[in-house]
């Protein structure tokens, strides 16, 4: 059993922390909205704390899963932040999808405090978190630091891989989001085409999903896209945040991302329709009602 602090109980963090508790770890949670932390404790036992600093007292691993770079800095460095209260030899694991620059910044601050660091963004969405089937992409400068974190992350991951030094996890998550952006737009165009051609969309998806067109998006979103159902999954506003990170990194390293840039513009149009919280598959709405 490991003493763990989990900071951030959103749609991803809450089930991830639940899996840690179910695996027998002692988990103390923190959330900016205290009522959510109290509700988590009522459902899962364990303990909550009023501040990040209080949550990490005695913890060997500290997991962070919040919204963006600024949120991470607030939880880690801010008033009563986690890092100042962590014990030497503890490990900070950041599951937030954030920038590679932030990962390197955190690593430097952690090293100065005698704390290990792993950047460990996740993929698999809310369903993956709920089912303990996330893919975790990790960057760590010390293999032993990654190994210690991996043993705990296993409670909610189907795959947890060390991809290189600090920052490699966040860079790999950018690759993941670039892939998804292109696939979702291609699927939206294909499903809209099938519907306008008076094909049975469900049957078409079933048939071509057994061939080279198969993808997670095809399996899980083709039918709901055709029905205009977007009230689940990964929100447009978060995908735009992730694409902004990827596009910024692409400018820095000289990589061309024309499709990702176009899809980001299309998501901006979805947001203009009030779709910030719609699932990312809502790209098809622009084709169904231009």
Tell me: do 26 and 107 sit in the same domain.
yes
> Active-site residue among 158, 159, 173, 241?
173
Same domain, 98 and 16: yes
What is the C-alpha to C-alpha distance for residues 285 and 290, in angstroms, rounded to an integer? 8
Asked if 142 and 114 count as a contact pair (C-beta separation under 8 A), the reply is no
Looking at residues 66-86, what average pLDDT do you find?
Answer: 96
Banded model confidence at residue 289, pLDDT cuts 50, 70, 90: confident
Question: Residues 7, 136: one domain?
Answer: yes
Could you tell me if 230 and 150 lie in one domain? no
**Dist CA 141 CA 152 (whole Å):** 18
Give 157's strand partners.
134
Pairing of strands 134-138, 122-123: antiparallel
To 10 degrees, what angle do helices 100-112 and 69-77 make?
10
Ranges 84-88, 233-237, 262-266: which has the least confidence: 233-237
Q: What is the mean pLDDT of residues 175-184?
A: 98
> What Å distances lie between residue 158 and 18, 113, 117, 167, 261, CA to CA?
16, 31, 21, 21, 31
Contacts of 244 (CB under 8 A, 6+ apart): 264
Query: What average pLDDT score do residues 195-206 get?
Result: 97
- Which residues make Cβ contacts (< 8 Å) with residue 127, sequence separation at least 6? 133
Where do the H-state alpha helices sit in the chain?
Answer: 13-22, 34-44, 52-56, 69-77, 100-112, 125-131, 143-153, 168-196, 201-208, 216-226, 236-253, 258-272, 285-288
Same domain, 155 and 176: no
Pairing assessment for the beta strands 61-64 and 47-48 based on DSSP bridges: unpaired
Tokens of 185: 């737009």
| Cα–Cα distance for residue pair 25/91, rounded to 1 Å | 15
As a whole number of angstroms, the distance between CA 224 and CA 204 comes to 14
Query: Are 278 and 189 found together in one domain?
Result: yes
CATH code for position 225: 1.10.1040.10
**Residue 7 and residue 150 share a domain:** yes
Mean pLDDT, residues 141-146 taken together: 97
Same domain flag for 157 and 178: no
What's residue 206's pLDDT? 96
- Number of structural domains the chain divides into: 2
Is 173 known to be catalytic? yes
Of the residues 149, 165, 181, which one is the last residue of a structural domain? Answer: 165
Whether residues 14 and 152 share a domain: the answer is yes
Structural tokens at position 273: 């329709």
The pTM for the full model equals 0.95
The CATH number of residue 20's host domain is 3.40.50.720
Which pair of tokens denotes residue 238? 């978060």
Q: Tokens 């890092």 — which residue?
A: 83
One domain for residues 26 and 151: yes
Token pair in block for residue 272:
């203009």
23 and 157 together in one domain: yes
Residue 232 has pLDDT above 90, yes or no: no
Q: Which domain holds residue 88?
A: 3-165
Asked whether the beta carbons of 70 and 64 are under 8 A apart, the reply is no
Question: Does residue 176 share a domain with residue 161?
Answer: no
Backbone φ, ψ for residue 164 (5° rounding): 145, -165
Among the candidates 116, 134, 165, a domain finishes at 165
Q: CA nearest 140: which of 102, 101, 168?
A: 168
**pLDDT tens readout for residues 78-124:** 889 999 999 999 999 999 999 999 999 999 999 999 999 999 999 99
pLDDT(290) > 90: no
Domain boundary among 165, 193, 219: 165
As a whole number, mean pLDDT of residues 51-74 equals 97
pLDDT band at 35 (very low <50, low <70, confident <90, very high): very high
CA dist., res. 222 & res. 202, Å (int): 8
Percent of the chain with pLDDT over 90: 98
User: Are 128 and 134 spatial neighbours (Cβ–Cβ below 8 Å)?
Assistant: yes
Question: Helices 168-196 and 201-208 sit at what angle, rounded to 10 degrees?
Answer: 130
Place of tokens 């949670």: 29
């Amino acid at each position: 059993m490991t003493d763990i602090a989990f900071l951030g109980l959103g749609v991803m963090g809450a089930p991830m922390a639940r899996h840690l508790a179910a695996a027998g770890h002692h988990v103390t949670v923190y959330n900016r909205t205290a009522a959510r932390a109290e509700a988590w404790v009522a459902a899962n036992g364990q303990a909550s704390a009023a501040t990040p600093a209080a949550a990490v007292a005695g913890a060997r691993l500290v997991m962070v899963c919040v919204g963006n770079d600024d949120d991470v800095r607030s939880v880690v460095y801010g008033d009563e932040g986690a890092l100042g209260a962590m014990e030497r030899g503890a490990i900070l694991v950041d599951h937030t999808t954030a920038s590679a620059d932030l990962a390197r910044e955190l690593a430097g601050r952690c090293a100065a405090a005698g704390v290990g660091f792993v950047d460990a963004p996740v993929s698999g969405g809310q369903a993956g978190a709920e089912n303990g089937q996330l893919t975790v992409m990790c960057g760590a400068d010390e293999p032993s630091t990654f190994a210690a974190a991996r043993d705990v992350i296993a409670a909610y991951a189907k795959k947890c891989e060390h991809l290189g030094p600090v920052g490699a996890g966040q860079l790999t998550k950018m690759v993941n989001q670039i892939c998804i952006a292109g696939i979702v737009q291609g699927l939206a165009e294909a499903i809209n085409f099938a519907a306008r051609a008076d094909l049975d969309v469900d049957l078409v998806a079933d048939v071509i999903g057994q061939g080279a067109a198969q993808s997670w998006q095809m399996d899980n979103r083709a039918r709901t896209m055709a029905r205009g159902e977007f009230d689940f999954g990964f929100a447009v506003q978060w995908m735009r945040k992730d694409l902004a990170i990827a596009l910024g990194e692409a400018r820095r390293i000289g990589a061309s991302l024309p499709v990702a840039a176009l899809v980001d513009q299309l998501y901006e149009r979805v947001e203009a329709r009030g779709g910030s919280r719609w699932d990312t598959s809502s790209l098809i709405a622009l084709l169904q009602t231009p």
